[in-house]
Structure 1
Amino acid sequence: MKMNAPVTKRLNFKLMNEHDWPQLFELDQDPAVMQYLTRGVPTSLEQIKNEGVPRMLAYRNELKGWGLWSITLKQTNTFIGWVLIRPMNFFSDAPNYSDIEIGWRFKQASWGHGYATEAALALCDELIKQDDVKAISATALKDNTVSITIMKKLGLQFIKNYTHTDEQGDLPAVLYSKNVLR
C-alpha cells in the first residue's frame, strides 16, 4: 500500500526528487536555519547537488513515503521547508526499517506559525498506517529547544542524551521516540 500524501488545511505536501535542488539550496542559505545543522554555515550548491541530492535519493521510497517532503503554503504555493522521513540509522551498518526518523527544516519567515508541527503530525498520521512502522524517532542538538518542543508535540518521549560528532567536533544531542500503538 502506497503512503498517501498528507492533507492539512494550510499546507501542501510533495515528495521531493532530484529536480528540487533549487529549493534545497535556497533553504540552506540562511545561517539561522543552519545554526543547529552546520553551525550556521550555508550549504554550497555543489554540496546540494553532489551530496544532499544523492543522499536523499538513496533513502527515497515513494511507496513507503520515505524522502524529503516539500511543504508549501496552500494559499500562495510558496515553498516554506521540508520534512524528512527515513529509517533510523539509514546510513549505518544497521539501519532500522521499523523505526522511522522524522526531521524538519523550514525557512525562517515561516517560523512561529506551527507549520513544522502541522506538517510533521500529518506525516506521522500517515506513517503509522503502515504495519511495518513500529516507532517514530527524532534527534536534535540539545540546544535546539524549538525542535525539541516539536518532538514533544508529536508525542515523542526523551530516550537519551548522546554526542553528535561531525567534521567540526562533538556536540551534545538528544534522541526522542515513541512506539506506534495499534
Structure 2
Amino acid sequence: MTVASTDRLILREWTDAPTDLIRIFEIYSREDVMRWLGGGAGRLLEPEQAAERLATWRQRYAPYHGRYGLWAIEVRDTGKLAGSVLLKPLPGADGHTPTQDIEVGWHLHPDSWGHGYATEAARAVLAREFATGNRQVYAVVTPGNERSMAVCRRLGMTYVGRRSEWYGGTEVETFLLTAE
C-alpha cells in the first residue's frame, strides 16, 4: 500500500517479499545505521530476524490504521529501497507508552545517503500529517548524528535543545516543525 509519493519516491508499506526482507536486514544489521538508533551493535539484526522485525512494526502501528507507521522509501526510477521513513507518537518516559507528541524520522542504508531521500520522504509524511490538523511534529536525534540534524534543518525544523522526556529518559537532540 502506498502511503505517499513524490516525483522521485514511493513511500509504501514494507512487505514480506524477499527483496523487502533482505533490505530490512541490510539496513538494520549495520553498525553505521544502528549506532544512531539507540542500542548500537547490541541491536544489530540477524538475517532470520527481518521477518520478525516487520511483524513487530505491523503490530505496533496497527492501532493507528495507517496514520502512523514505519514505511519503505522506494526510489521510483530504480525500485531500490533506500530505507525507512517513520511517523509515530513518541514513546514516553517509560520507553513504551505513546505520548501525544508526534515524531518524524528516517533510517537509510548508507548507499542511499547524500541523495536527499530522507528530506524528501520526511516532507511527504509531514505534509500528510499536517493535513490531519496536527500543528506540530518533532524529530529526535542521537547526539552526534550530524547527518540527521542536517536533515532536520533542511526540513525547516527549529532546534529546541536536548530533551529527555521520551524514549525512557534518553537524552536526544530535539527539533520541532510547526505547521504554517
Provide the TM-score with structure 1 as the length reference.
0.78
**Alignment partners' CA distance in 2, 1:74 and 1:24:** 18
**Alignment partners' CA distance in 1, 2:127 and 2:26:** 28
Aligned length: 171
Show the counterpart of 1:5: 3
**Alignment partners' CA distance in 2, 1:43 and 1:135:** 32
> What is the identity percentage for the equivalent residue pairs of Structure 1 and Structure 2?
25
1:34 aligns with 2:11: no
Show the counterpart of 1:15: 13
Q: Residues 164 and 109 from structure 1, CA distance in 2 versus in 1: closer, same or farther, beyond 3 angstroms? A: farther
2:57–2:69 Cα contact (<8 Å) kept:
no
1:14–1:70 Cα contact (<8 Å) kept:
yes
Deviation at 1:51, TM superposition (A): 5.6
**Alignment partners' CA distance in 2, 1:8 and 1:177:** 23
Amino acid across the alignment from 1:139: V
**Alignment partners' CA distance in 1, 2:113 and 2:165:** 25
Amino acid across the alignment from 1:72: E
**Alignment partners' CA distance in 1, 2:66 and 2:57:** 18
1:57–1:67 Cα contact (<8 Å) kept:
no
2:90–2:166 Cα contact (<8 Å) kept:
no
Deviation at 1:23, TM superposition (A): 3.0
2:91–2:166 Cα contact (<8 Å) kept:
no
> Aligned Cα RMSD in Å?
2.9
Q: Residues 160 and 118 from structure 1, CA distance in 2 versus in 1: closer, same or farther, beyond 3 angstroms? A: same
Deviation at 1:138, TM superposition (A): 1.0
Show the counterpart of 1:146: 147
- Deviations along 1:100-152, one digit per CA (max 9) or x if unpaired, are 21111111111111111111111111111002x23111111110011011112
Unaligned runs of 5+ in 1: none
Q: Residues 165 and 14 from structure 1, CA distance in 2 versus in 1: closer, same or farther, beyond 3 angstroms? A: closer
| Shift >6 Å, 4+ stretches | none
2:33–2:108 Cα contact (<8 Å) kept:
yes
The structure whose residues are more often helix, as a share, is 2
**Alignment partners' CA distance in 2, 1:126 and 1:165:** 23
Deviation at 1:175, TM superposition (A): 1.4
Q: Residues 103 and 74 from structure 1, CA distance in 2 versus in 1: closer, same or farther, beyond 3 angstroms? A: same
Q: Residues 7 and 155 from structure 1, CA distance in 2 versus in 1: closer, same or farther, beyond 3 angstroms? A: same
SS in 2 for 1:43: coil
Deviation at 1:76, TM superposition (A): 1.2
**Alignment partners' CA distance in 2, 1:113 and 1:123:** 18
Show the counterpart of 2:109: 107
1:1-182 → structure 2 map (5 Å cutoff) = 5-16=3-14, 20-37=20-37, 38-40=39-41, 42-45=44-47, 48-50=50-52, 53-60=55-62, 61-64=64-67, 66-89=68-91, 92-93=96-97, 95-96=99-100, 99-131=101-133, 133-162=134-163, 172-181=171-180
- Deviations along 1:37-59, one digit per CA (max 9) or x if unpaired, are 23345223465444663245212
